[in-house]
Amino acid sequence: MSSRTGVVCHDLYKQHLASLPHVESPQRLQVIYDMLDAADMAGKFVSISPRPATHDELAWVHSHSHIKRVAGTDGKDHMSLDPDTQTTPLSYQAAKLAAGGLFSLVDKIFDGTIKNGFALVRPPGHHAERDRAMGFCLFNNVALGARYAMNTYGVKKILIVDWDLHHGNATQNTFYTDAAVLYFSTHQFPYYPGSGYLTEVGQGDGQGFTVNVPLGPGHGDAEFFQIFKHILYPIASAFKPELIFVSAGFDTYVDDPLGGMKVTPPGYAAMTRLIMDLARSYASERVAITLEGGYHLTGLKESVRAVLMELVGDSILTAGNLEGLEKGAVPGVVDDVIQVQRPYWSSL
């Protein structure tokens, strides 16, 4: 059977911060790429070559001054754009190719080559604001991918699911007044970057199209599954997205050095399955995933593998896994979010 799942990989992504000791290291991609090269993964995926985003495309989300500032780091040994966010000589090139990698993935979804896919790129993107780099991010890959799908393929309704440990402040801000994009985020709170309170629901035309699920530490597979089932599923079903993006951060992994969550690979597989169910119902199966955080190398590799296997229809989930998830306790935050969101979504 020919694969319906694409992967975007490129060696240039590993050049960002290649010479710098940093938690967001090239090793993160190396372990994933090595996993994809293993015999048991051979032939499962369509390999997609990325192309760089142009300045005009980057300007759909970012100011010209910000693009110029990042471009100004090109070829320079080491620049610091904020206390967390560094560049090395090829970072700007890698960042353009990361955003463009998501464009290439969207192209292959819309030309029918694949149904879904995963852009395994660096640097990550969801903290990169219109006018500044932040939190390891230079350009906002997922926000740019959404704009690309709208501008190139006329997509009218996009769901962005962000399960990174950290709130995607910049993705939220990009679409805060936009009813065409439903932004859903689970995140540790209060924690970097400090945004994502449950009463942040959007403004103007976008009111009700931002859904934040702020969580204390210690939540695992069952809690995340219940949150997706009781909040994401009914809201997204009412919204009826034509395309779903996922900002997939794996820093909610149980042993991640930056996080306090307890998610394991089956938990990521279950979240992916629920998203794929939504895509099957409303979005012609179209799901485009992009890599955000995740800093425990073994956990990152195994969790990405679990998501990829789900995408390709070769799930790691067992009946026992699913039974445990279904029987899991519903976290108290679910009621809090429903109270806030119910005025906008009668499906809750």
Q: Write the pLDDT tens digit of every residue in 80-113.
A: 999 999 999 999 999 999 999 999 999 999 999 9
Beta bridge partners of 118: 7, 289
In this prediction, residue 2 carries a pLDDT of: 60
| Domain housing 181 | 5-341
In a domain, 347, yes or no: no
Q: Which of 249, 248, 256, 252 is nearest to 296 (CA)?
A: 256
Q: What is the CATH number of the domain that holds 292?
A: 3.40.800.20
Domain count, the chain: 1
Count helices and strands in the chain by DSSP H and E runs: 12, 10
β-bridge partners, 87: 79
What's the token pair of residue 158? 């996009």
Rg for the chain (alpha carbons), in Å?
Answer: 18
Encoding tokens for residue 263? 């998610």
Binning pLDDT at 50, 70 and 90, where does residue 3 land? confident
**What are the tens digits of pLDDT across the range 9-62?**
999 999 999 989 999 999 999 999 999 999 999 899 999 999 999 999 999 999
* Residue 346, in any domain of the structure: no
Cβ atoms 277, 315 nearer than 8 A: no
Q: Which residues are catalytic?
A: 127
Does residue 65 sit within a domain? Answer: yes
Q: Which residues pair with 253 in a beta bridge?
A: 263
Residue (of 293, 291, 221) closest to 263 by Cα position: 221
Instruction: Report which residue type is found at 151.
Output: N
Whole-number mean pLDDT of the chain?
A: 97
In a domain, residue 81? The reply is yes
Say if 236 falls within a structural domain: yes
Indicate the residue type of 278. L
pLDDT for 1: 46
Cα separation of the two ends of the chain: 39
Whether 117 shows a pLDDT value over 60: the answer reads yes
Q: Residue 233 and residue 280: Cα distance in Å, rounded? A: 13
* Half-sphere exposure of residue 184: CA atoms within 13 angstroms, side-chain side: 28
DSSP state of 259: -
193: preceding bond cis by omega (within 30 degrees): yes
- Is 348 part of any domain? no
